[in-house]
Amino acid sequence: MEHFAELSARFPKIAWEREFSLSKHTTIGCGGTAALAASPRDTESAAELLAYLARSGVPHCFLGAGANVLPADGRFDGVVVRFHALKALYLDGETVYAGAGVTGGALLRFAEENRLGGFEPFTGIPMSVGGGITMNAGVDGGHFSDVTLGVVGIERGRIRSFTLRDCAFSEKYSLFQSGIAVTGAYLKGEKSSPQRIAERREEFRKRRAHLPGGRSMGCVFVNPEGDSAGRLIEQCGLKGARSGGAIVSEKHANFILNEGGTAADVSALIALIKREVHRQTGIVLQEEIRRLP
Ligand SMILES: Cc1cc2nc3c(=O)[nH]c(=O)nc-3n(C[C@H](O)[C@H](O)[C@H](O)COP(=O)(O)OP(=O)(O)OC[C@H]3O[C@@H](n4cnc5c(N)ncnc54)[C@H](O)[C@@H]3O)c2cc1C
């Protein structure tokens, strides 16, 4: 990308990487490369960068821990903006401030060390706080929408605060899917004891025993109102269905596993599942996963 020299000179405090591998930075492990990846170390430089990219018409997208995205094959001639360096984590009373780059595991450890409960439903969910807020991650028993007090983000190059209501959380959705970057969040914990926290974490960990291992994006489809996408896919006889190196998990039909395939394989399998579920049940499955770029 011809912008590299200009961008790295203009933003020397940002860490830049050329020919960034999307397959290495996503849990599904497929997809091509991006011309550039940018990792701002603070909110201010992230805001300046995003304002500049928008002004200059440079294509860009956001990446968290890469656990719910399907990156395209080929080369993205643009900038992947990463938030992993925004790792601030502090406590004020029972409120935790977590930067967008804090991982789910780090958030849980921090809460445990400070005898704060409320985050146990996130046990085992691969994510960054930024991606978790954006996707309203969670399980029955707790989602980000249940613990978020407010979010700090960047909208059209400006840093601003978002109240819980502004976040417009719903099932697998938040306002931040509209191109607003999350840089951090205020999350409410509740006083607890190490023993109680450990018990609750174990409870949520056990609930995940049925989930398949291997390379995946977690659940591919949102559950339709009052039903389960996995149940519908299984009922349509699609467990084990394959397209190239992508396969519908035998353990949980809403998971697609990548066994050395391409993004095109995964996409083709997603299309096949949608087609077949619609043909057999009349239900149109909606994707939970996000495409990159
Ligand atoms: C094995 C496995 C199990 C899973 N189990 C669960 C589960 O139990 N419950 C659940 O809810 N999810 C689950 N998921 C999905 C995934 O963990 C969540 O969606 C998580 O929130 C993704 O966070 P991330 O940081 O990886 O986001 P990414 O996948 O990197 O990004 C997701 C979307 O958010 C955008 N984004 C990322 N960071 C930011 C930011 N800072 N600002 C604005 N936009 C941003 C990206 O552009 C993309 O559109 C699972 C995934 C896997 C692989």
**Do the domain assignments include residue 213?**
no
Number of domains in the chain: 3
The pLDDT, as a whole number, for residue 1 is 64
Cβ 248 vs Cβ 241: under 8 Å: yes
Mean pLDDT rounded to a whole number for the chain = 97
Element (H or E) spanning 259, and its range?
A: none
Tell how far the Cα of 137 is from the centroid of ligand 1, in angstroms: 7
- Residue 65's closest CA among 137, 117, 14? 137
The domain spanning residue 58 has which CATH number? 3.30.43.10
> Candidates 28, 79, 135: which one to mutate for ligand 1, based on the most atoms within 8 Å of Cβ?
135
Residues 72 and 99 both lie in one domain: no
CA angle 23, 267, 125 (to 5 degrees): 55
Tell how far the Cα of 2 is from the centroid of ligand 1, in angstroms: 31
Residues 19 and 54 both lie in one domain: yes
| Residue 134 CA, distance from chain mean position | 7
> Candidates 25, 30, 62: which one to mutate for ligand 1, based on the most atoms within 8 Å of Cβ?
62
Closest atom of ligand 1 to 69 CA is 29
Q: Give Cα separations from 237 to 76, 253, 272 (angstroms).
A: 36, 10, 12
Residues 140 and 196 both lie in one domain: yes
Tell how far the Cα of 25 is from the centroid of ligand 1, in angstroms: 12
Distance between CA atoms of residues 167 and 121, nearest Å: 20
The list of the chain residues with pLDDT below 70 reads: 1-2
Range of the domain at 242: 229-287
Distance between CA atoms of residues 54 and 48, nearest Å: 10
**Do the domain assignments include residue 114?**
yes
Kindly state the tokens that stand for 82.
Answer: 């990463």
Q: Is 168 exposed, middle or buried (0-12, 13-18, 19+ CB in 10 A)?
A: middle
Radius of gyration, alpha carbons of the chain: 19
Residues 116 and 154 both lie in one domain: yes
Tell how far the Cα of 127 is from the centroid of ligand 1, in angstroms: 5
- Which protein residues touch ligand 1 with a CB less than 6 Å away? 27, 61-69, 83, 100, 125-128, 130-132, 134-135, 137-139, 176, 181-182, 216-218, 290
Count CA atoms within 13 Å of residue 74 on its CB side.
Answer: 7
The domain spanning residue 196 has which CATH number? 3.30.465.10
Tell how far the Cα of 181 is from the centroid of ligand 1, in angstroms: 14
Tell how far the Cα of 151 is from the centroid of ligand 1, in angstroms: 17
Distance between CA atoms of residues 248 and 239, nearest Å: 5
| 125 Cβ contact list (under 8 Å, min separation 6) | 67, 104, 132, 137, 138, 139, 218
Whether the pTM exceeds 0.75: the reply is: yes
**Do the domain assignments include residue 219?**
no
